[in-house]
Each structure stands twice: as C-alpha cells, then as structure tokens.
Amino acid sequence: MDDALTCPRCGTEMVSRTVADGQVSQCPDGHGVFLSRADLGSLIESETDWHRNASQHTAPLPRITADMTAPPSGRARARAWVETLFT
C-alpha cells in the first residue's frame, strides 16, 4: 500500500503500519482497518500460529483452598492474536 489511503467513512488519512509481514492501514478515528488480500493471508497465518502455541503458556489450575485470595486484577489475556494489534 504505497499510496496514502483515506477512510471511506470520514475521509481522514489512514495511518499505515507494519504488522507481522504486511501493511495495515487504520483509520485514526476508529472506523476500521484496511489491508490487501496478501496481507490478510499473512495475518491469518499469524493468528493460526498464535492459537497453535497459546496452550503452551498456560499453567495448571491450582488447588482451591479456603484460605486463598483472588489474584490481583491485571490486563485480560487476549482472546486472539489480532486483538493484541489494536490495544
């Protein structure tokens, strides 16, 4: 995506950035993201890889006892790799 794109909804110039192996153009006002078909394929492959490896980072559930307290609230884990791109 060499030419500057404008958002079809508001006309604002899109902000382009490299994500994984492709380019993504995003409306700075949150109206959407736009990418080429090849870049979409690249993102889909990255998403598939993320899900394939996500279970490797999980810990076994602890035994629940009466003296346990709730863990500190933190940032919720992303449900998908693509979700991590826009937070």
DSSP collapsed to 3 states, 30-62: CCCEECCHHHHHHHHHHHHHHHHHHHHHCCCCC
Burial of 23 (0-12, 13-18, 19+ CB in 10 A): middle
Residue 5 placed within a domain: yes
Instruction: Write out the residue range of the structural domain in which residue 27 sits.
Output: 1-47
- Binned at pLDDT 50, 70 and 90, residue 66 comes out as confident
Residue 14 placed within a domain: yes
Task: Examine the pLDDT at 8 and tell me if it is beyond 70.
Answer: yes
Residue 81 placed within a domain: no
3-class DSSP assignment, residue 32:
coil
Between CA 4 and CA 17, with CA 9 as vertex, the angle to 5 degrees is 35
For residue 32, give the nearest of 10, 50, 47 by alpha carbon: 10
Residue 57 placed within a domain: no
Top-confidence residue, 35 or 19:
35
The confidence score (pLDDT) of residue 1 equals 42
Say what the pTM is.
0.49
> What's the domain count of the chain?
1
